[in-house]
A and B are shown apart, each in its own frame.
Chain A
Amino acid sequence: MILLFYIAGAVAVISTVAVILQTNIVHALIYLILSLLAVAVCFYVLGAPFAAVLEAIVYAGAIMVLFLFVIMMLNMGQHSIDQERSWMGPKVWIVPSILASVLLAQLLTVITQYDHELALTTVDVMEVSALLFGPYVLAVELASLLLLAGLVAAYHLAKK
């Protein structure tokens, strides 16, 4: 089980690197789906099977299909791959990479001060839904409002 976490983590990191280096947008999307599925495996190992299932269905399923539809609508072919390649000189990468790695190093210094073992006990759907429809019912209602607002905004923006 522990080995599963590290392998899935490595897959997630490698495929995420592939996403940000890729010039073909459809390939990048496939790598992103791979990365999300690897993170779903991590969730499962960490004892959150419900979150893992939702990650696979909602993220890797629904949201990525939405991306795919938009990419198909924009209909970017070989022209866009050449354009991406011309935008991706090594000069573009240096400063953002250095800045992000400085921030990452600071974050890691803080994180490594904590010392606690994760017990990997499974928190199953029952407990999550009991909380979701108990103390957090207002948050669920607010989430539904947010989704409704997103729906109206997406319809209005994508309309001719």
Chain B
Amino acid sequence: MNSPASLHGALGLSDEEFEQIKAVLGRDPNHLELALFGVMWSEHCSYKSSRLHLRRLPTTGAHVLVGPGENAGVIDAGDGIAVAIRIESHNHPSAIEPYQGAATGVGGILRDVFTMGARPLAVMDPLFFGELNDARQRWLVEGVVSGISGYGNSVGVPTIGGELTFDDCYSANPLVNVLCVGALPVERLVLGVASGVGNLAVLLGSRTGRDGIGGVSVLASAGFSGEDGAASIDEAKRPSVQVGDPYEEKRLIEACLELLDGGYVVGIQDLGGAGLVCGTSETAARGGVGMDVDVTAVPLRELGMAPYEIMTSESQERMVAIITPENLAAVQAICNKWEVRASVVGHVVAPTVGADGVTRAMLRIRDGFDGEILAEVPASALADEAPLYDRPRERPDWLDAVLADDPTDDEPIGSPNDDLLDLLVDPAWVYRQYDSQLFLNTVVGPGRDAALLRLAGPGLPASTKGIAISTDSNPRWCALDPRLGTALTVIEGVANLACVGATAKAVVNCLNFGNPEHPAVMWQLSESIDGMAEACNGLNLPVIGGNVSLYNESGGNDIDPTPVMGLLGVIDHLVAPPPGWNWRDGDTVVLVGARHADGDVPFPLGGSRWATRRHRRGGHLTGVEPGALHATLPFVTGEVASICAGHDSDVTAVHDVGGGGLATALAEMVAVTGIGARVEELEGHGELFSEFPGRFVVATNDPAAFSARAADVGAPVAVLGVVGGERLTIGNAVDLSVEEIARRRAGALVDALEAN
């Protein structure tokens, strides 16, 4: 355990970790060295609680160019184009200052992607807040959305989708996840590697201030300040909130892409969490070389910054590029054009032989390149050799009671009409604030099953391919059964991609969980990872990147397990838009996929939004029958892909049955088209609102032909009704006017935000 009274304890290092550091160095660390270990061995940087479990995920595939562990995962999409994708959380900063927290989250994820040589093409944002009947939640929503809008629009990367979830478990811990996808010519792929003794590390972008020096600031009050000149800083005024500058980032993107185009860069790395120490130690460790860093060469925004502050600052909009000395002038010229600051702050040096006779690549922090050595640490010890923990895991004892409290057999209170209206939320208020169209690629934008982009951009080879991205989560499912819940979430993502005709090619994930020191949380995390592995193995999908956000707890209460799955799909020939939800008068409405859930209960309601709205959070989660699923997903994908390739089709609309169940999917199609439907009697409120993935509402103008094609591949089809009229009727259960459905759905979010 750590002793809080000690300096290493205050830096978040346990006594065992402190002993390990002494063993690595063969001596006691000085304060600066201890600070470097403190940030690099933090949960945030080292994944020390989760790494052991993440190894169980499948990560390889013939098309995978870069898997987990780099700044972004990369696949070969064909036609000479590689696609980079990354997802991250910015939860804790957004809880403190929602605008800047969300804005800097966008900035960070963009740097991760253009670090690989890719031009960022699109961003998606899954957001989770408490219920909107609380003024603080409304403040958080408005702040986060305007932060994403303010930064993303200005930096010039479209925001093409995301998710919006309201649940009381996020009241004290809002979640802000950010996914970015970019593309590059395959041959331009670069990695964050330093190599070549004598090469230079050039710091690009903003000057360094005291932003984001959170945990390490204890050094100022730990007797450290006196010897390094930082004593004059009033700690209360220390700006731990990082402030984003999208204009700086925009110029940094263009400058870096021009540097990469010109072939001037050996390796490049963004400076995010843990700042310079992370950027220099990771590039050096990957290259197996040492690095001398001159703290006096780092351009500063504030006076009197101590070396530990300079090395760990999380000031935004900064990159480290490794270049050969002969390219320095060319690099400076490009940076001057884009008004981007460029300073040589490091030299790549050969590994050195220590007193023990062992050769190590050392990160040395110096006061001038020829000056005093302030810190000397093996780069790999910081970057790769953080401790690995197998923390205690235990299935929580309260889970059985939760499972037993199943809402499936609850007598419905009130009418299905009211229940349905209550479930409708149009997120347009959010996505209208995002530029979703820049780069002329957005075929399907926010607010639909998945986003669909043309795979095109400046500098890319010509292609008629498209890429689709979906972000999915279902914390209500995962609270009941983290393993099955996560597996079903992956399937839900694949189903969403099918709606736009894309075949899933890779998964990235953002695992938002509670406190890993709670055995129940570690059990949830481990189960969730196993569920993801099972689903991905079953669907032959590699996991090419991820992010783990732990300690989302407050007052001892952990959030529901919230694994967010980012699915990347490819469509080979995209020349016409997919049908979307645009059914037409006279079309036949069919349900494609298993009509019943797998197992004894045909229409389970455990974990459904219908139940959650009633504060009924228990029940069993039920799976999907694999045979129907594996026939349905490729069938629907193929039907839509054929339309996107320009072929005629009887299919006029396709919508995944997701949150809120079948009734909600039908009502959403009514709302966007303004055309009603007459649907046959369903099996009670169970079939109206049950949620299990792998089902689609499809509209067709030739149901016989459609059913025949489905039968050929064994995809189940059931005719539900007919499109037309001014009302949505479902048997005797639901009878609502088109106007009321559209009005309630459009107003739900706006009305909740405007409540006082």
A complexed with B: no
Identify the B interface with A (CB < 8 A): none
Identify the A interface with B (CB < 8 A): none
